[in-house]
Amino acid sequence: MNKTTLIRTDELEQILLETTPRRAVRRAVALIAQSIPSASVTVMSVDTDHHVRFDAANGISWSELRNLESSFNRELPHNIMGIIRDRETCFIGDVGAYPDWRGPAHDLVSYVGFPIIIDRRVVSIINVQTSRRRLRSGDVDALRPLVHLISLIIARYLKEQQSAKRENYLALLHETTLDGVRATSAVEYMNTVIKRIARRLGYQYIALFLYEAGTESLILRAQKGYASEYDGFVHSVHDRVGVAMRAFRLRRVVNVADARTCAFYLHAVPGGLSDLALPLMAGGKVIGVLNLESKKAGAFSREDIRNLTPLAAGVGLMLASMQIKQLLREQALLDGLTGAHNRHAMDGILAEELERARRHGHDVSLVMMDVDEFKSINDRLGHAEGDRVLETLVAVMHKSLRSIDKVIRYGGDEFLLVLPETSQRETELLLDRLRVSIQTQVLTDMGPVHCSVGVATVRGDPEGGDLVELADKRMYQAKGRHRARLEEDPGY
């Protein structure tokens, strides 16, 4: 037997001169099989979750190997598990006497499994099986030099693979960081992140949820692979289903390897079998969830989780920073007392709405509003009561107006209302309803509050004029008429 395992120098050179490590391994496997009578040889990789995959074979069909893979991945046989656990060669001189043999359906008599170890972990196993002739311990020793050579080739290949994978994740992390610096909004950033993940890692189903404190829910803000009906999907944090929700509630990564056995899996992907959810953390709080799904069972390994965790952390910090900046920007454009937009925001709002009206041929109405006798309220009831009146007035207006309408504190007790897609007639009807709301809800010891208004519209007034100035002029005309009525009828 020892003579048959001798390998010529030119055969070793051919192995080392192969253009790819995979081809080198296959040539070495064929050489082992040729060197040992009646041998079949396989190389089987082992991932961090102890899932196995046959990468090279000689003397056994691939269809048979795929059936073995399925069997091994349901439950590893004792000989394979022992090699992984003990990191030592497993020699079975008599396969027929071994109680847990699971292998090819040939008349095998002997088996030896050699571990390939990188960083103290078994990453591959070289399996040699013989029929007709039984292996002895001396035969195993004779095989070790060639096995050691194959181990070096496989180790080099895996090191290159691991290095490339790490570089890929580092490049992804670097790119998403730069994307965050360049993005003008959180939604733009999240959509870019999803495109990067899909391109770099090849995932087909990706979702980014953000937590909204007001509604106590996770909201789907960006996604790839899901039906469009899921856009903006709202998931209450009080729900018990959903892998993303579980990651949010537990504040840790949740990996579902087989959705068929998971009670809380939410079937958003037809045929989905794996689901990985990573919480996006910032300042000790969960601000969202990165969710990945696959139609393949066991799609996400421990190594995937180790590589994705820093990415999720970086995305979480970037989104939190964006949210803080957005909040500061919004606060800088809001009136501190009433919460209405301030004069700094006015130019941007007007320019945007007037341009939109011009582009789509819509109307825009501007309403200048002023609280009548506001000085008397301050003088007779105090400035605190005056502030309360303004706060209440803006709250009533926000309740009465649409979400697209804007309330701007123009100055003192003057407010400018910007009403997109609203004609002059529609504005008059709206103001009739608003007057009733103000007079019934904004009350003082002096009685209900009254307001004077002036209206200007894009399509109802001459082009080229200053609509704000026109609305202001008409408001003062209305205020003059109000004062005239007060002089005629002080009880008015």
- Confirm whether 413 is a catalytic residue: yes
The residue with tokens 């008059």 is 428
Instruction: Judge contact between 43 and 154, C-beta under 8 A.
Output: yes
Residue 174's identity, in one-letter code, is H
- In this structure, the number of other CB atoms found within 10 A of the CB of residue 159 comes to 14
- Cβ pair 45, 58 in contact under 8 A: no
Catalytically annotated residue among 413, 445, 466, 472 = 413
Tell me which amino acid residue 465 is.
Answer: G
pLDDT at residue 361 in the model: 85
Domains of the chain listed by start with CATH number = 9-158 (3.30.450.40), 183-332 (3.30.450.40), 343-488 (3.30.70.270)
Q: What are phi and psi of 441, to 5 degrees?
A: -115, -20
pLDDT per residue, tens digit, the chain (492 aa), is: 444 445 566 766 777 677 676 787 788 788 788 778 788 889 998 988 888 999 888 888 888 888 888 889 888 999 999 999 999 999 998 888 888 887 765 678 899 999 988 888 898 999 999 888 888 888 888 888 878 877 887 777 777 877 888 899 999 999 999 999 998 888 899 999 999 999 999 999 999 999 998 889 999 999 999 988 888 889 898 888 899 999 999 999 999 989 998 999 888 888 899 999 999 999 899 999 999 999 998 899 888 999 999 999 999 999 999 888 877 777 778 888 998 999 888 988 999 898 888 888 889 999 999 999 999 999 999 999 999 999 999 999 999 999 899 999 999 999 999 999 999 999 999 999 999 999 999 999 999 999 999 999 987 666 656 889 999 999 989 888 866 665 555 554
